Chains A and B, each alone.
Chain A
Amino acid sequence: MLLQLKGVSLSFAGNTVLDAVDFGVERGRIQSLIGPNGAGKTSLFNVITGFYRPQLGEISLDGQPLIKRKPHTVTRLGIARTFQNVRLFHEMSVLENVMAGQHCRSRAGALAAVLRLPSQRAEERRIFETSLECLDFVGLTAYRDRLATNLAYGHQRRVEIARALATEPRLLLLDEPAAGLNSGEKQALIELIQRIRDARGVSVLLIEHDMSLVMNVSEHISVLDHGSLITEGTPQAVQNDPAVIEAYLGQDDEELAL
C-alpha cells in the first residue's frame, strides 16, 4: 500500500465527520472516492494532507507516518492535491504558477536565495525546466506567459494539475477534477489522468460526482457515506452494490440502478 489510513476519526464540535475510516491506495492505481454530498470526502483529503488533524487513527505514506505533519511537509513527502474550486495564483503567469509547485523541491535555503549565491542560479534553471516539462505534459506550453486569471476555465484546471505535478508527488489527490468541464474536456481529463499514472508512475485518488467518468477511469472505487467507508471494489462490483444505491438514493423499496 502506498497510502494507508487506519481507524481515522475526525469530529468538529461533537459532529462526527469521519468515523474510524480504514482506507488505502495501492501503488500505481487510479482510485476513486465517491459518496453523497457531505459524506466526508473532502474532509478525508484534508486529513491526508495535514490540514485537519484527526482525533484518532494513523495515516502513512509508504510506511512513513503522516499524522501531525504540517501540510508543507506532507507535500514534500509526496502527496499533491487539487481543489474543487480552481485555486491558482491569479495575478501570476501560468508558468510561475507551476514553478510555485517546484518550490518544495528546492534545496537552496532562504539565505542563499536572498544573497543570490551561484548554487541558486542552477536551482532556478532546474526549477524552470522541470516546470516547463510539467506544463508541456498537460499541453499548455503555449500559454506559459499568460496571467492565470485570463485562461479558460478548463485550461485553469489543467494548470492546477501541472502545478500539483511540479511538486513531484507519488500520490495525486484530485478533488472533483471534472466539475465544470464539457464532455470533450472530460474525455481529455480521462486521458490525462491515465497518462499521469502510466508515464509518470504517480498514483491517483480522485473525488468525483460524474459517474461515467468515475466508472471509465477508476480501477478501484471506495464509497464513503456519513463518514464511514461502506464498500469498495472494482467499478462493476460497486455499481451493483445495494449499499451504494441506498447511500445515494436513501432507503427506498423501489429497485433502482445507478
Chain B
Amino acid sequence: MAWYDLFLQMIVDGLVLGAFYALVALGYTMVFGVIKLLNFAHGDLYMTGAFVGFGALSLVSGVFGAGWPGIFIAMLLSMLAVGCLGVVIERVAYHPMLTAPRLSILITALAVSLVLQNAALTLTGGQYTAFRTDLGFGGFSLGNLFLSWNQIVLVTTAAVLMIALELFVSKTLYGRAMRAVAIDKDMCRMLGINVSAVIAITFFIGSGLAAAAGTMAGAYYGSIWYFMGFLIGLKAFTAAVIGGIGSITGAMLGGLILGLLESFGTHIPFIGSEWKDVFTFTILILVLVLKPTGLLGKSEVERM
C-alpha cells in the first residue's frame, strides 16, 4: 500500500466513526442549547437505541429481512421509541429541576445515566448481545482503497439525518422556536411560545438521533452491551466541545473532526490503537484549555 492509500483509508474510517460521533454529539449540543444541561445520560440513550433497534429488527426481519431495509425500519422504530423515552426523562427527571441550581440537574443527569445502564445490565445480564444482520461484506475498490457498501449507506444515512435536522432548525416554526428558546426563554414565554413543548421536541429529536446512531452502530459492529454508551457519550461530548457546545453545525463538524483525528491518531508511530482514547481526551483537554468556546461556539457570560 502506498502512503496515500493508507491516508484515504484512514479518511474513510474516520468518516464512519465521525458520523456516529456527530449524531450523538447533536443531541448533546441541542439539549445544552435549550436548557444549558450537559445531559450525561445521552450516551445511554444511544445504548438504549441499540437495544430497542435490536428488538425491533427481530420483530420486523420476518417481513423486511435483516438487511438494510429491515435495519432502517428498526432504526425508525427505535428513534420513535427512544425519542419518547427522552421526552419522558426530561419530564420526570429534568423538568422539576430547571429552576434548581445547575449542579443539581447535572447530578440528576448522572443518576439517569446510572438508571439506564443498570436497567440494561439487569435485563441483559451484562453479556454482549450479538446484533445479527444479513449485512454482507461487499463493496468496491478504488485502486487500493476499499469501500464497503455498509460504510457508504451508514455515512449517507447520517448525512441525510443531519441535513434534515439543519433544515428543520433553520426553516420551520419549531426550529426557529428552538433557537429562540436557546437565546431567551422568558422572552419566548412572553411571545406565547410554549417553551415546555419546545424543550420536549428538542429531547425527542436529540434522543431519536442517538437511537439512530445506536441502531446503526449495533448493525455495523455486530454486538451491543449495556456499557456501550459510556465511552461514546464522553466522545460525543468531546465532539460537541470541539465544535462549540450549543452550536448544531459545530456538533456535526466536531464529530467529523474527532472521527478523523482518532482515525489518524491510531496510525501515528508508537501510538497504537490502544492509545486511541488517551489521544481523544487529550484533545478534549487541549480544546478546553486553548479554545473553550470551540470552533463555532460563542463566548457567553456565565449566568448561574
**Which A residues contact B (CB, under 8 angstroms)?**
49, 51, 70-73, 75-76, 80-81, 87, 89-92, 96, 99-101, 103-106, 108, 110, 113-114, 116, 120, 123-124, 127, 163, 167
- Say how far A118's CB is from chain B's closest CB, in angstroms: 13
Neighbouring B residues of A80 by C-beta, 8 Å: 191
B252 at the interface (CB under 8 A from A): no
Question: CB distance A124 to B183 under 8 Å?
Answer: no
Does A114 lie within 8 Å of B183, measured CB to CB? no
- Assess the B191–A110 pair: CB atoms within 8 A: no
Supposing A90-B183, A110-B200 touch, asked if A96 and B189 sit within 8 A by C-beta, the answer is no
Of B168, B192, B298, the residue contacting A104 (CB under 8 A) is: B192
Residue interface bits B153-193, CB-to-A below 8 A is 1, else 0: 00000000000000010011110110110011011111111
**Cross-chain contact B173 with A120 (CB below 8 angstroms):** yes
Q: Is B205 an interface residue (CB 8 A)?
A: yes
In the A-B complex, the 10 residue pairs with the closest CB atoms: A104-B192, A75-B192, A113-B174, A71-B189, A89-B183, A72-B192, A103-B193, A100-B180, A76-B192, A89-B180
A230 to B201, CA, bound (A): 48
User: In the complex the two chains form, what is the Cα distance from A116 to B174 in whole Å?
Assistant: 11
Q: Are B183 and A110 in contact (CB under 8 A)?
A: no
Chain B residues with CB under 8 Å of A76's CB are: 192
User: What's the minimum C-beta distance from A90 to chain B, rounded to whole angstroms?
Assistant: 7
Are the CB atoms of B172 and A89 closer together than 8 Å?
Answer: no
Contact A108 B173 (CB under 8 A): yes
In the bound complex, CA of A47 to CA of B198 (Å): 25
A127: nearest residue on chain B (CB-CB)? B173
Is A81 within 8 A of B173, CB to CB?
no
Supplied contacts A51-B190, A92-B183, A110-B200, 13 more A-B pairs, CB within 8 Å? A49-B190, A72-B193, A73-B192, A75-B192, A89-B183, A91-B179, A92-B179, A106-B173, A113-B201, A114-B168, A123-B173, A124-B172, A163-B191
What total of chain B residues lie within 8 Å of the partner, measured CB to CB?
28
Q: Contact check, B191 vs A92: say whether CB atoms are below 8 A apart.
A: no
B204 at the interface (CB under 8 A from A): yes
Which residue of B is nearest A82, CB measured?
B190
| B194 at interface, CB cutoff 8 A | yes
**A81 lies within 8 A of B190 (CB):** yes
Does B197 touch A at the CB level, under 8 Å? yes
Q: Contact: A103 with B192, CB < 8 Å?
A: yes
CB–CB B176/A96 < 8 A: yes
Q: How far is the CA of A99 from the CA of B193 in the complex (A)?
A: 11
* B189-221 with Cβ < 8 A to chain A: 189-195, 197-198, 200-201, 204-205
B201 smallest CB distance to A (angstroms): 5
A75 and B187 alpha carbons, distance in the complex (Å): 11
